[in-house]
Amino acid sequence: MKPRSTLTKKTSGYRLGIDLGGTKILAAVVDANGQIVGMAKKKTKGELGPDGVIKRIVDTASNALDVAKVSLKAVTGAGVGAPGPIDYETGMVYSAPNLPGWDEIALGPRLKKELGVPVRVDNDVNIGTLGEFTQGAGIGCQNMIGVFVGTGVGGGVIINGQLYRGFRYAAGEVGHMVVIPNGPLCGCGRQGCVEAVASRTAIEKAVRAGLAEGRSSLIGELLVAENDRFTSSIIEQAMTAEDPLMLEVIGNAQFYLGLLVGNLVNALDPEVVVFGGGVVEALGDRFLQPIRDTARAHFIQQRWLEKVKIVPAALGDNAGVLGGAALVAAPIRKG
């Protein structure tokens, strides 16, 4: 027998993981061991509408295959995370916030036609949670909750080793659990959701309100222009400098995220709560420790407090594509 070159790609067993976001599309080719063997990235250009964006998804997937030197014939399926509520069984995106024109778009069937492989579509935060569960901070546990703090606050729920989607495929919307009755207005139109106090959007709003009130703060220097981007890096710099306004606003966000975790643990008693998203990545344990403390103080079951792990996500931006690839192997069923 001729020895096989280690550079020889296998000719089967690859999966495509695709993460469709409001600003960028990520695609990865993942091998049977869950390793990424090629990746590509494109701007979403949502203004092109569903047809244009779907074409860009296909192009990104194609680029990832080129990078990986894997042909579509070697791909068993694609798993896609997309924003907004999705019918997981049919692959239809009901609506996608930040993507104009996405109104009941049959993303799964359309990508299947373009790519020629089976395609599964699920909510992007569910997919990120699945990625962290299968290959990140939740490896080996059975019950996990993912909380992602970015421009919004999203979540996902793993029960008995599987992504739990709920009756209307609407489970995991932990960002819209109300923690302050009649509290600050949320992007969803309601009041007092966690997202309305703890998302980067809410943090920015509170900080800008403080600046407008004339509070002296380093952030005034970091944000020179009114429309300068308020990034997680700016939050990190202000926190490192112990800027009082930022400490106050972040402290508030941490308190309510802690309450949220306490509430979720009292309802679901998971083994692990994974925190991901830009703010968490930028601040790390500085962000998480106060959340942990508040959460544990609110656990009704005070035995084995430390058994419930509250940990940072491990995969960063790759959670979505790895979760997408994991979706290919998951059973299609209700619940």
H or E element, residue 57: helix 49-68
Using CB under 8 A as the binding rule, whether residue 176 contacts a second copy is answered as: yes
Using CB under 8 A as the binding rule, whether residue 235 contacts a second copy is answered as: no
Site for a second copy in 67-86 (CB under 8 A): 85
Q: The dihedral of CA 66, 67, 71, 72: what is its sign?
A: negative
Residues 27, 16: Cα–Cα separation, whole Å: 7
Nearest distance from C-beta of residue 87 to a second copy, angstroms: 10
- Closest listed residue to residue 207, CA positions, set 239, 249, 244: 249
Site for a second copy in 190-209 (CB under 8 A): 190
- Residues that bind a second copy (rule: CB under 8 A) add up to a total of 51
Stretch that binds a second copy, among 108-116, 137-145, 206-214, 316-324 (CB under 8 A): 137-145
Residue from 2, 167, 229, 332 binding a second copy (CB under 8 A): 167
Number of H helices, E strands in the chain: 11, 13
Beta-sheet strands, E only, within the chain = 14-20, 24-30, 36-43, 75-82, 86-87, 92-95, 103-105, 119-123, 144-149, 153-159, 162-163, 272-276, 309-312
Parallel, antiparallel, or unpaired: how do β-strands 24-30 and 86-87 relate? unpaired
Give the CA angle between residues 200, 36, 151 to the nearest 5°: 10
Residues 76 and 116: beta-carbon distance below 8 Å: no
Sheet holding 36-43, edge to edge: 36-43, 24-30, 14-20, 75-82, 119-123
Given the complex with a second copy, which of 179 and 222 has the nearer CB atom?
Answer: 179
Nearest distance from C-beta of residue 193 to a second copy, angstroms: 8
Using CB under 8 A as the binding rule, whether residue 274 contacts a second copy is answered as: no
Residue from 53, 179, 246, 288 binding a second copy (CB under 8 A): 179
Residues whose CB is less than 8 angstroms from the CB of residue 87 and which lie 6 or more positions away in sequence, other chains included: 94, 169
Using CB under 8 A as the binding rule, whether residue 243 contacts a second copy is answered as: no
Per-residue contact string for residues 90-109; x = within reach of a second copy by CB under 8 A: ----x---------------
Per-residue contact string for residues 147-166; x = within reach of a second copy by CB under 8 A: --------x-x-xxx--xxx
Per-residue contact string for residues 287-306; x = within reach of a second copy by CB under 8 A: ----------xx-xx-xx--
Nearest distance from C-beta of residue 189 to a second copy, angstroms: 10
Stretch that binds a second copy, among 57-65, 72-80, 106-114, 140-148 (CB under 8 A): 140-148
Given the complex with a second copy, which of 116 and 251 has the nearer CB atom?
Answer: 251
SS3 170: coil
Using CB under 8 A as the binding rule, whether residue 44 contacts a second copy is answered as: no
Nearest distance from C-beta of residue 98 to a second copy, angstroms: 16
Dmax of the chain from CA atoms? 78
Which residue carries 């308190």 as its tokens?
255
Nearest distance from C-beta of residue 102 to a second copy, angstroms: 15
Given the complex with a second copy, which of 264 and 315 has the nearer CB atom?
Answer: 264
Using CB under 8 A as the binding rule, whether residue 332 contacts a second copy is answered as: no
Residues 270 and 306: beta-carbon distance below 8 Å: no
- Contact residues toward a second copy (CB under 8 A) are 85, 94, 141-143, 155, 157, 159-161, 164-174, 176-181, 188, 190, 255-256, 259, 262-264, 266-271, 297-298, 300-301, 303-304, 307-308, 334-335
